[in-house]
Chains A and B, each alone.
Chain A
């Protein structure tokens, strides 16, 4: 803990060094008269290097630097749902009310509204023991029951607890040793919140996207990436999943992306309803927004800020989906910071710890038994923007080693306006085996068989297409032409989905029945062909 003050010695881009003593690595510091937020990234005997999360323009050597005594944390309590925060968890709505439409920096605002009143129903009484993560009681946060928990490291014996109307500004009660029981707590963003036990993913997340649910399923507690060049529909796909996925809570990070797109998404989330609960989507969503023109170091922190909030809701026993658009912008921020620290660069200038940072981050996903004994899950879907659409670049490659699903977005499909532009040959999901059981029992025992058939047809089409390029479509046999026709139907009627229409969300029953009818009519037409009916006629049979 350090409350002493030091001075700025040098300034270079987002990094500042100071002579302040007694700091810890990753401790939060205030820099300059403007009180910019920074984080200690390197300690030397007589020098400390600080990464500043805000614009360093206007800083001068000799201005004060002050340690906070804590690492970068987020505040966790009721009132996060429906909110929109920047990479340091500052509430953007309130920032706008105080500063106007432009962000000029150097302002600390708490994420939680400490004045707002909540109706608290205690779950504990006198003499109850509190261990880390114990549920103290509940308040209603929109449609959700918000379990107020003790901090993961807090213990004590209850002396008294108050029920009824509370605000976060006042204690919920007292422990026997006269410590106050707070209604919210802080947690360092770079440390995963603890749980009792982790399980392997087994159930799917229904996204309403046929190509994902059917061909490359996502799992609760699993991880997925979709890399794609610009214009391949990454953002639209992420947002569609954020809208329709059958999870309780969605945490969405716009990491280094477009401001207009975020404005659009916010407006849309106000209007749209969750297809599962029929409540406004905004109520189940936490947005963290750090657009591409906001400071680069806060972009690096934003995914940690967001995932910590996601873990907090997971700890209440909810199924949480974490979406980030885009992970590449995070990696680039890491690279920029690394360069300004003059670290030795690895591949394409990225620091050599890129892969380990990334895998450490991705391991924060999973289905867990929480400290209070509930089952919650945190699933991650991350988009990647490979430079030049080249998938051999370091970020995509680093992800591949730890990812459960890989959904490759294809520029040539996007050019043909085939959306979602998921390439069905290169993509894969490692959860297919685990989640097939669910669809077999919930939807139809024929799910697996249908999946096998459809994949076969798409593969055969690819082979036939090569032949057709040489001999022409006319030169193919009737059975092959029928197959190509069926494959085309799979592509246009099944794999393509318009995010701006009714079809944007396809429940598994519908997904199954579309594919089933395509395959059935194919089989019927194939049967007729064998009986000697002409191709044109046979296809008509099939389509009836």
Chain B
């Protein structure tokens, strides 16, 4: 603990967002630092590494205009903490946690470290409560449950924001008395997308908290905003007993920011230039979803990932898929056919579905209906390749039936436009479809 604040004028190097400060006494890793610029601004920074008396600090925000002679640095003796209060609901902040909605900053009830702490696996409650999103492809075939993290894998140009907006508007918890509070983290958003999302959030009757980093705002904030959002989510969920839905868009911008900062730190690059620790870093965000045994609330997460080059094996969707409990994959092909939501159910998966469906939760025949729909649709899709080679005429009657089924599945079951279906309706649509094609459901 320092008794007096010392102003260091010993910067030796400035490289991108990094400053080297010499002769520093007792700096701590993760400690917050204030950088005073020659033109009188104050900027936040964090201690990254310490080697003897040389301390490496990373500045949040742009380092343009800093110099070695006149810039000074003071150490705060505290780790980065997030101010918290129930009053936060309904507010919009930027990526540095400054109000963006014109209202004054709230008075914090408490502060918690931005990085959070891992939930003890022994303290986790198994996610089991069904969430109805209104989409048949999710509710019926890839069911979402409370406390799950289920990313949306999209491609550039696909309507991921409309899908997210629709989920926001239509999601219902099993207990109708309960409502979701949405915590929204926007990373590198264009103004066009921003205005769309804000309209959606404001139309919701329940509360929301938003952290918005625009496309032209500092890259470092893209690493901070999701952590602010998750710390707020954990606080509201596990201390205030609320059910929180965290939407982060777009994780691809997050990972690119991580790569940019990592390169500035001169770290060894891994696959496609992304740092080797990206898996652990992503896990430190995604794993904050969940439920805690003996506590009320929950954190459910729907991150959006835009797959570069439509490639699901790209490191960003790949590492995400290894951490999250499944994925919802949007398809360009379906979108071009004019189907909304363009969710391709074959590569989509919800790992926790089993726990959320069945008798007493959704419907006794849920698993069975879903399995059969999958089976027949997969078969139909397989046969499309054959059709491309031999033509429709060269195929058996049974095969042609499967082809027609796959088409009807896409237009009638996947495609539902803006209409909301309850899970009962979703399952009935599936059953009727199979009945129409006289496909057996054992």
Contacts and interface: CB of A to CB of B under 8 A. Distances in A.
Contacts of B51: 9-10, 12
Contact of B354 (A96, A259, A349, A500): A500
Interface residues of A, number: 69
B120 A260 contact: no
Nearest to A254: B121
Interface of A: 9-13, 56-62, 84, 92-93, 95-96, 99-105, 229-231, 254, 256, 258-264, 266-267, 289, 291-294, 296, 329, 332, 335-336, 339, 345, 348-349, 385, 387-390, 415-417, 468-475, 500
Contact of A263 (B27, B126, B267, B283): B126
Nearest to A342: B268
A156 to B, nearest CB: 39
Nearest to B386: A469
Interface string B46-63: 000111110000000000
Contact of B123 (A59, A96, A267, A416): A96
B89 to A, nearest CB: 23
Contacts of A263: 121, 124-127, 290
Most buried by B among A99, A101, A415, A416: A101
Contacts of A292: 279-280, 283, 286-287, 323
B28 A60 contact: yes
Interface in B384-414: 385-386, 389-390, 394-396, 399
B99 interface: no
A293 B288 contact: yes
How many interface residues does chain B have, given as a range? 35 or more
Contact of B270 (A100, A256, A349): A349
B120 A230 contact: no
B395 A259 contact: no
A111 B2 CA distance: 38
A335 B325 contact: no
Chain B interface, DSSP helix/strand/loop, else mixed = mixed
Interface stretch (B171-179, B218-226, B345-353): B345-353
26 contacts: A57-B30, A61-B26, A62-B26, A101-B238, A102-B117, A102-B120, A103-B117, A229-B318, A231-B321, A231-B326, A256-B280, A258-B325, A260-B127, A260-B325, A263-B290, A266-B122, A296-B277, A332-B276, A339-B267, A348-B270, A388-B314, A390-B313, A415-B347, A417-B375, A472-B386, A474-B396
B287 A258 contact: yes
B191 interface: no
Given A229-B318, A289-B122, 13 more contacts: A59-B28, A60-B27, A96-B120, A96-B123, A230-B321, A254-B121, A259-B119, A259-B290, A260-B147, A260-B352, A339-B277, A387-B319, A416-B382
Interface string B304-322: 0000000001110011011
B121 A92 contact: yes
Given A292-B280, A388-B313, A471-B390, A11 B122 contact: no
A101 B277 contact: no
A231 B349 contact: yes
A59 B27 CA distance: 8
A57 B115 contact: yes
Most buried by B among A62, A99, A267, A387: A387
Report the 6 A-B pairs with minimum CB-CB distance, sorted nearest first: A388-B313, A292-B283, A57-B30, A101-B123, A263-B124, A293-B287
Contacts of A61: 26-27, 50, 52-53
Contact of B293 (A101, A230, A336): A101
B264 interface: no
B7 interface: no
Nearest to A92: B122
Nearest to A101: B123
B115 A472 contact: no
A262 B322 contact: no
Given A59-B29, A231-B327, A263-B124, A339 B238 contact: no
